[in-house]
Amino acid sequence: MKISIIGAGYVGLVTGACFSKLGFPVTCVDLNQETVKRINEGEAPFYEPGLAELLAGQVKAGLFSATVDLRQAAQYSGVTFVCVGTPMAGDRQIDLSFIIKAIDELSEALKDKKDYHLVVMKSTVVPGTTEKMAERLWEMTGKGAGQVGFCMNPEFLREGSALADFLSPDRIVIGQSDAKAGDYLASLYETMPAQVLRTNLRTAELIKYASNTFFAMLISYSNEMARLAECIGDIDVIEVLSGLILDRRISPAAGGSILSPGLAAYLKAGCGYGGSCFPKDTNALRELSTKGYDYNPLLLDAVIAINERQIYHTVSLLYKEMDPRGKEIAVLGVAFKPDTEDIRESPAIKMIDRLLAGGAKVRICDPRALGPARKHWGERPGVSYCEDPGEALKGAHGAILVTSWPQFTCLEPEDFLKNMATPLLIDGRGVYDREKFSRAMNFRVIGYRPGSKNPA
Ligand code: UDX
Ligand code: UDX
């Protein structure tokens, strides 16, 4: 069974490389010539742990290739995964233009195809989209579900662990236009030891949004508790959340020990979530609710508002200590999280723009994401780029930890004291030892404020 994939981005390329590892010949289609060229040379066009090695091996084995020619790739495969970008449009709605373009090109390619073909939506699309795309393609090709089946198969890949997330999934969700399509897709995954959940197209679409908005909610919930802890004073939100997580309904006992759930990683206060998914998906679902169904999603509104406010609150902790005009501020981390070079919707973007607007000079420091950062801010007065934290801190009047890269979390007070002009550190991820750092320097952290002994 040959597979074609439209879109060689974080999701399409990982999906294609992994399916080829499972033994399927895969062709990835992308409109970006440079991307196609690099893939065919066995190179990954972006950093994702393990992807470059896997890709090189699969290209060499002749099981993986890339092309700009969607028509040929679709005609010579039995199934096509749609993995093009579904970014946030200006008004926070989902931008489906790339999806529609892919479906229209696919319609052209499948018009004369005789054999059955399966189209699988893997890009995150709001509920109802896949049905509309199926109708569109069937209309344009004069075919029906019996000849071109549709499935919706959401991805649950986290950047930084995408290969493992694909090859050892917790569950495989298959939304299907009909049983034949669902069976066909299920056969591709049959060697994977995961629970398969078969449902209809729109339920599969909403499962994806439910998953992402749930984890985004945990982060905003943690940040709500953090703000309360700061207001009251003398409360450490890390202790509050640890006390919550010990509940057996969150951390069940098993064989004498306590299981620590993965969701605990999202019950963490900080400067807010980012990435190409949480912001996009929380906003897309809210816009669908309000504009599509006249439903007012209060909880989604709060998740989004708390996250937005948290980003600016982190900068305000620095503003409370200094007038930023003309000051040198080191921003430690611009990737939206460690182990990725992706800065899409990273909290650092709004923080840096806020600091620049306040007249500060910003030194952007990140072990992997300086390339995308330079593309975003370019060479301009007031912005400099450093790989090494020591260099970023030298002579700086303040520092904000935004991304918990190990290169930053291993720093001790001395590293700040010996380099900075005025040792002020805002810990945006709650990674540093509060007592040690508070004793050594001017230190502020999300979710903790040494307070008066008798709260209001
Ligand atoms: C995308 C969606 O943004 C996300 O919502 C979904 O969950 C998975 O697919 P991602 O892989 O990160 O996520 O997208 P991106 O990194 O933007 O890659 C999209 C790729 O598609 C790019 O390489 C782009 O060149 C390519 N593309 C886009 C096409 O080949 N054709 C198009 O018409 C548009
Ligand atoms: C997310 C979902 O986890 C994944 O299932 C979906 O397919 C795509 O979107 P991703 O955005 O790559 O994956 O990263 P994730 O590790 O979930 O982090 C998302 C946000 O949560 C980041 O902004 C990160 O800062 C934050 N986060 C993540 C935390 O605050 N704490 C953590 O321990 C992990």
Q: What is the pLDDT of residues 310-327, one digit of tens each?
A: 999 999 999 999 999 999
Nearest ligand (C-alpha, residue 160): 2
Banded model confidence at residue 193, pLDDT cuts 50, 70, 90: confident
Banded model confidence at residue 455, pLDDT cuts 50, 70, 90: low
Residue nearest to atom 23 of ligand 1 (CA): 9
**Residue range 428-442: mean pLDDT, rounded:** 96
Residue 334 Cα to ligand 2 middle (Å): 15
Tell me what pLDDT residue 456 has: 55
Report yes or no: 336 and 403 within 8 Å, Cβ to Cβ. yes
Residue 324 Cα to ligand 2 middle (Å): 31
For 214-256, how does the pLDDT look when each residue is reduced to its tens digit (9 = 90+)? Answer: 999 999 999 999 999 999 999 999 999 999 999 999 999 888 8
**Residue range 191-199: mean pLDDT, rounded:** 95
Catalytic residues: 277
Residue 212 Cα to ligand 2 middle (Å): 8
Q: Which strand (E) or helix (H) includes residue 415?
A: helix 413-417
Nearest ligand (C-alpha, residue 211): 2
CA–CA dist 452, 259 (Å, integer): 36
**Residue range 136-165: mean pLDDT, rounded:** 97
**Residue range 140-158: mean pLDDT, rounded:** 97
Q: Percentage of the chain with pLDDT > 90?
A: 95
Long-range contacts of 131-140 (CB under 8 A, 24+ apart): 131/177, 131/201, 131/202, 133/99, 133/100, 133/103, 134/177, 134/201, 136/100, 136/103, 136/104, 136/107, 137/103, 137/106, 137/107, 137/110, 140/104, 140/107, 140/108, 140/111
Report yes or no: 342 and 369 within 8 Å, Cβ to Cβ. yes
**Residue range 75-86: mean pLDDT, rounded:** 97
For 364-414, how does the pLDDT look when each residue is reduced to its tens digit (9 = 90+)? Answer: 999 999 999 999 999 999 999 999 999 999 999 999 999 999 999 999 999
Residue 128 Cα to ligand 2 middle (Å): 25
Q: Percentage of the chain with pLDDT > 70?
A: 99
Picking from 278, 222, 223, 224, the residue whose alpha carbon sits closest to that of residue 250 is: 222
Residue nearest to atom 21 of ligand 2 (CA): 273
Pocket probe mutation, ligand 2, options 215, 271, 311, max atoms within 8 Å of Cβ: 215
**Residue range 62-90: mean pLDDT, rounded:** 96
CA–CA dist 301, 304 (Å, integer): 5
> Which atom of ligand 1 lies at the shortest distance from residue 277's CA?
5
For 295-309, how does the pLDDT look when each residue is reduced to its tens digit (9 = 90+)? Answer: 999 999 999 999 999
Nearest ligand (C-alpha, residue 213): 2
> Which atom of ligand 2 lies at the shortest distance from residue 337's CA?
25
Does 141 score more than 60 pLDDT? Answer: yes
Tokens of 254: 């098993």
How far apart are the two ends of the chain, measured CA to CA in Å?
A: 68
E strand residue ranges, 219-327: 253-254, 257-258
Tokens of 302: 């709060």
> Which atom of ligand 1 lies at the shortest distance from residue 31's CA?
30
> Which atom of ligand 1 lies at the shortest distance from residue 101's CA?
33
**Residue range 29-50: mean pLDDT, rounded:** 96
Pocket probe mutation, ligand 1, options 4, 34, 82, 83, max atoms within 8 Å of Cβ: 83
**Residue range 81-110: mean pLDDT, rounded:** 94
Look up residue 211 and give its DSSP letter: H
Write phi, then psi, for 35 (nearest 5 degrees).
-60, -45
Residue 336 Cα to ligand 2 middle (Å): 9
List pocket residues of ligand 1, CB cut-off 6 Å: 7-12, 30-32, 35, 83-87, 98, 101-102, 123-124, 155, 276
Pocket probe mutation, ligand 1, options 4, 5, 6, 10, max atoms within 8 Å of Cβ: 10
CA–CA dist 105, 79 (Å, integer): 15
Pocket probe mutation, ligand 1, options 29, 81, 84, 103, max atoms within 8 Å of Cβ: 84
**Residue range 93-118: mean pLDDT, rounded:** 96
Residue 123 Cα to ligand 1 middle (Å): 8
Q: Considering only CA atoms, give the Rg of the chain.
A: 24
Residue nearest to atom 26 of ligand 2 (CA): 273
Nearest ligand (C-alpha, residue 402): 2
Does 281 score more than 70 pLDDT? Answer: yes
**Residue range 103-132: mean pLDDT, rounded:** 97
Residue 85 Cα to ligand 1 middle (Å): 3
**Residue range 345-357: mean pLDDT, rounded:** 98
Tell me what pLDDT residue 309 has: 98
List pocket residues of ligand 2, CB cut-off 6 Å: 155-159, 211-212, 215, 219, 265-266, 268, 270, 273-275, 277-278, 336-337
Residue 367 Cα to ligand 1 middle (Å): 24
Banded model confidence at residue 453, pLDDT cuts 50, 70, 90: low
Does 433 score more than 60 pLDDT? Answer: yes
